A and B are shown apart, each in its own frame.
Chain A
Amino acid sequence: MILFWQSLINGLLLGGIYAACSAGFSLAFGVMGVVNLSHGDFVMLGAFITYWIFILAGIDPFLTLPFTFLILFFLGFFLQRLTINRLVGSPPIMSYLLTFGLHLVLSNLALRAWTADFRTVQTSYSGLTMSFAGLVIPYSRLATFIMAMVVILGLYFLLYRTETGRLIRATAQDREMAQLMGVKIFKIYTLTFALAAAITGLAGSLISFTFVIHPQMGLPFTITAFCVVVLGGMGYVPGTLWGGIILGLVESLATTYLTAGISVAITFFLLLIMLVTRPQGILGKGVVEWSKGS
């Protein structure tokens, strides 16, 4: 029975992290309709930035978070300006392919630069755990979870309580109308994508000391983001919290009671079942396009 609760706790903590890693993906899709297949690579980059700063300068990972945020913000900014903005109005396949191309470039450049070795960030407090009613909770995981919650809340605050956030949401809901009301669409898009990249990079930084990192870790995170976002509702950022937690719980329980490999299969089946039966997400607030022939 203890195993069950431990598994549950693990899943919850994992879920919070998944949510933070996926919020940017949902944002990009909700506002611009872009499915960013290089999403996971932003996680990877965030993780590596934190890693290298830690290794080279000895700075504690938590302190490098703002730095990562800024770097990824600018990366996202330039990527959007140079490439993705040109695809606004094109058929969606263009953005899939473009972002996939970006994925290939980013992940393989990273591989070239940093080799395929697995790495972790080992701080003085990495291994410390706390015990609670017989359950073991690593401090780093807990701290990461809390930071992830802060990130998501921060994003929520930004989107729903600030003027800029309102503009972003208005653009997401009705681009033409927003344009007519004087919103500079391309600026909003650039800002949105930069924000999405920054948040994702931030999440990547957070996971650098709870996960093993390597240059090819991006793609699985992109897939995780798909899952989380479909569960929570595409384009509905608050939903990523629920999506992340559900996925985290499912994966954790599956890994405990079945095998790790099956847990991956379950992720996909879950995704598939969601897409086919309830693509608007658990809460029903996702953006869905039904094909007109059905």
Chain B
Amino acid sequence: MLMRRAGLNGILLPLLVLGVILLLIPLLGMAGYRLRLLSLIFMWVALAGCWNLMSGSTGYIDFGPVAYFGVGSYCTALFMLKGGFPFLLSVFMTGWICAALSLVIGLSTLRLQGAYFAIATFAAAEALKQVVLESDRVLGIDFFGGAHGLTLPSPPSGIFFYYVMLFFMGLVVSLTAVIQKSKLGYGLRAIKDAEQAAELTGVPALQIKIRAYILSSSLIGCIGGVEAYWLTYIIPDDVFNVMRTIQMVIMTLLGGMGTLLGPVIGATFFTLISEFFGAKFVYDYLIIVGLVIVVVILLMPQGIIGTLVKKRGKSSWLF
């Protein structure tokens, strides 16, 4: 009965089926490149989903999520390398550290609106990257590894990361679904639609925005930590690269900001395209990406899912 109240009955069965299939895939023999590709897709769905959780819900365009990805990568790496902690514990602790960091950054930046929030978050991300890049040299220590980054111990098999990424994807999608129909979700949408009116009806806007921001950022941090172990080496130019932010944004935009399935569709689509075209024609690929963005913005600003919603005329739980 509770399920029906939340409108879950339409989607639950297909999702469960899909979930079971995904769980079984490695056991059915898929391995190597294909498994890695799926894991990559899961990671991007999770990342885009996190960005959607914050920016899609509140309408505050965050241009700095890669900051937490980078911080998360380094935290997990450092916990494992210098602290000797096991991987999963490291990721767990990383989540909390990113939560604390996002509280600080969020409290200062979420009071700003529009362009300022976007620029501030972008600046924060770049500043953090520079800190990690230069700290060793300036402080005369050997901690972050400067431009060379850090190397982690040998990881377990690809199957391990498949399941970890699958877990995070499932977590992010479930959280998004649960929040959408919760009190928090209503508060978020109210803020997005009319923040001042929301305040006047009792919605504590700053608190609500921070909650979404912390949730999104700490999860991004965890995923960054997982990727660090997966790739076994991290360098600042990669884990703090603004292209990661851009990808999260494009995937969500393409799929449809603020929708549940938007990031899923957008991330899957985009990751596949990148894999097939990205390596071969680097410059052309970026030019095409740029053109795609321009075209989507001008013609299909609601993204794939969003445009479908508009055509149906009413919004359903799914969207």
Chain A interface (Cβ within 8 Å of chain B)?
Answer: 29, 33, 35, 83, 86-87, 90-94, 96-98, 100-106, 108-109, 111-112, 223, 226, 230, 234, 258-259, 261-262, 264-265, 268-269, 271-272, 275-276, 279, 288-294
Apart from A97-B297, A279-B112: 18 A-B pairs, beta carbons within 8 A: A86-B298, A92-B115, A93-B118, A96-B118, A100-B290, A105-B287, A108-B286, A226-B123, A234-B116, A268-B126, A268-B127, A272-B123, A275-B116, A275-B120, A290-B113, A291-B117, A291-B195, A293-B198
Spot the interface stretch: B40-48, B129-137, B309-317.
Answer: B129-137
A236 and B227 CA atoms in complex are apart in Å by 43
A-B residue pairs in contact (CB < 8 Å), sample of 15: A93-B61, A94-B297, A96-B61, A96-B63, A101-B293, A103-B290, A105-B291, A106-B290, A109-B287, A111-B283, A262-B130, A265-B131, A272-B124, A291-B113, A294-B206
Interface size class of B (residues with CB under 8 A): 35 or more
> Is B301 part of the contact surface with A, judged by Cβ < 8 Å?
yes
The docked-state distance in angstroms from the alpha carbon of A111 to that of B283 is 7
Known: A108-B290, A272-B124. A293 touches B195 (CB 8 A): yes
Contact: B119 with A265, CB < 8 Å?
no
Is there contact, CB below 8 Å, between A275 and B119? yes
Complex: how many Å from CA A268 to CA B260?
34
* Any A CB within 8 A of the CB of B77: no
Assess whether B294 is interfacial by the CB under 8 Å rule.
Answer: yes
Q: Which residues of B contact A91 (CB under 8 A)?
A: 59
Given A83-B298, A288-B116, A292-B196, verify A101-B290 contact (CB < 8 Å). Answer: yes
Is there a chain A Cβ closer than 8 Å to B177's Cβ? no
User: Quick check: B287 and A104 within 8 Å, CB to CB?
Assistant: yes
The reply on B169 being an interface residue by CB < 8 A is no
A68 to B206 CA separation, bound complex (whole angstroms)? 46
B114: interface (CB < 8 Å):
yes
Task: Report B16 CB to chain A, min CB distance, Å.
Answer: 34
Asked if B292 is at the interface (CB within 8 A of a chain A CB), the reply is yes
Q: Once the chains bind, are A104 and B286 in contact (CB under 8 Å)?
A: yes
B90-139 interface (Cβ within 8 A of A)? 108-120, 122-124, 126-127, 130-131, 133-134, 137-138
Q: Is the CB of A291 within 8 A of B205?
A: yes
User: What distance in Å separates the Cβ of A8 from its nearest Cβ neighbour in chain B?
Assistant: 22
Q: Tell me whether A35 and B112 are in contact (CB under 8 A).
A: no
Assess whether B209 is interfacial by the CB under 8 Å rule: yes
B interface majority secondary structure: helix
Distance in Å: Cβ of B118 to nearest Cβ of chain A: 6
Nearest CB to that of B118 among chain A residues? A96
Task: Mark out the residues of chain B between 238 and 269 whose CB falls within 8 Å of any chain A CB in the assembled complex.
Answer: 246, 249-250, 253
* Residues in chain A near residue B290, CB distance under 8 A: 100-106, 108
Contact indicator B294/A112 (Cβ below 8 Å):
no
The answer, among B112, B124, B126, for a CB contact under 8 Å with A290, is B112
How far is the CB of B194 from the nearest CB of chain A, in Å?
Answer: 9
Min Cβ gap A264→B in Å is 5
Return chain A residues, CB-CB under 8 Å to B123.
Answer: 226, 268-269, 271-272, 275
Chain A residues with Cβ under 8 A from B112's Cβ? 275-276, 279, 288-291
Contact (Cβ within 8 A) B289 A104: yes
CB of A289 within 8 A of CB of B114, answer: yes
Q: Which chain A residues border B63 with CB–CB below 8 Å?
A: 96
A112 / chain B contacts, CB cutoff of 8 Å: 283-284, 287
The 9 closest A-B pairs by CB, nearest first: A293-B205, A104-B290, A101-B293, A265-B130, A105-B290, A268-B127, A292-B196, A294-B111, A289-B113
C-alpha spacing A124/B64, complex, angstroms: 45
